[in-house]
Structure 1
Amino acid sequence: MADSRQGSPNPSSPGAGVPVSRLPERGRVLCHGYIESVTYVPADQSPAFTAILSDAEVPHPGAKPVDGKGGRLRVVWLGRRKVPGIDAGTEVRVEGMLTQSHGLPTIFNPRYEILSRQEHE
């Protein structure tokens, strides 16, 4: 997703997307959140890279969201084993068709923009 504005986008600005907790049931959506976790599939399975987005910032990889509030969104890139830049703690904006899959709102093959990355010590 290209953004013509200079500098770091403000997630609360118009066009930044809705928080994960305010997503509708279905339809085309633009939302922002933090990568809570990623899942890698074994080499003997079909390639798919899955990440869970939440509203709350994750203090460090593997930790649960800070405030425990908000929704969760699964994003799945089919045919890929890794998506560069998508790691726990990364703030992203995603766009795509929202559906329900296995009890979680899910977007398959979303467009995405990395807004900020967590520094690792």
Structure 2
Amino acid sequence: MSTGEGRGSLRRMLRRLTASEAEIEAQQLQRDSARCGGVPAAQCARGQVASVTGRLRTVVYTPRTNQPALEADLYDGSDVVTLVWLGQRRITGIEPGRHLTAKGRIAVRDDRKVIYNPYYELEPST
């Protein structure tokens, strides 16, 4: 091993020792997303068709007068994409903490990335 490789390993080890729990989780989610072929949410742009893999942070039913919706925040370690299922009150398997891959066209609502009625695949529970 060269001296440069040794320093790189030492830096990685020190980063792991000093990183917060949130930073470690974000790094793991980013690795999982890349392994599943997901596009980092931070790189998604309005109008782009994207596949994003991550963990559901929140799931909320939002009753509205014109159209109720189920909304879930999907976090992949780089950013959050809000998934919105119009006309739904509950979807089996869509719950906080669940890992999934969502595919659809990125929209922006209130400065937040959104995918309406995404195609999704639940990842196996670990």
Same fold (TM over 0.5): yes
Higher helix share: 2
- Higher gyration radius (CA): 2
1:75 to 68, 74, 83: 83
Consecutive unaligned residues of structure 1, counting only runs of 5 or more, are: 1-9, 57-69
Native 8 Å contact 2:63 2:69 kept in 1? no
The one-character-per-residue Cα deviations of 1:18-59 (angstroms, maximum 9, x if unpaired) are 122232333211111110101112487732100001124xxx
SS of corresponding position for 1:12: helix
CA shift for structure 1 position 90:
0.7
TM-score, scaled to structure 1: 0.68
| Structure (1 or 2) with the greater strand fraction | 1
Equivalent position SS for 2:62: coil
Aligned to 1:60: none
Gaps spanning 5+ residues in structure 2: where?
1-31
- Aligned residue pairs total 95
In structure 2, distance between residues paired with 1:47 and 1:25 = 23
Give the aligned CA root-mean-square deviation in angstroms. Answer: 2.2
Percent identity (aligned): 27
What is the TM-score with the length of structure 2 in the denominator?
0.65
**Is residue 114 of structure 1 aligned with residue 115 of structure 2?**
no
CA contact (8 A) 2:33 2:52 kept: no
Work out which structure has the larger RCO, using CA pairs closer than 8 Å and 6 or more positions apart in sequence.
1
Alignment check: 8 A CA contact 1:20 1:53 kept: no
Kindly indicate whether residue 56 of structure 2 is the aligned counterpart of residue 48 of structure 1.
no
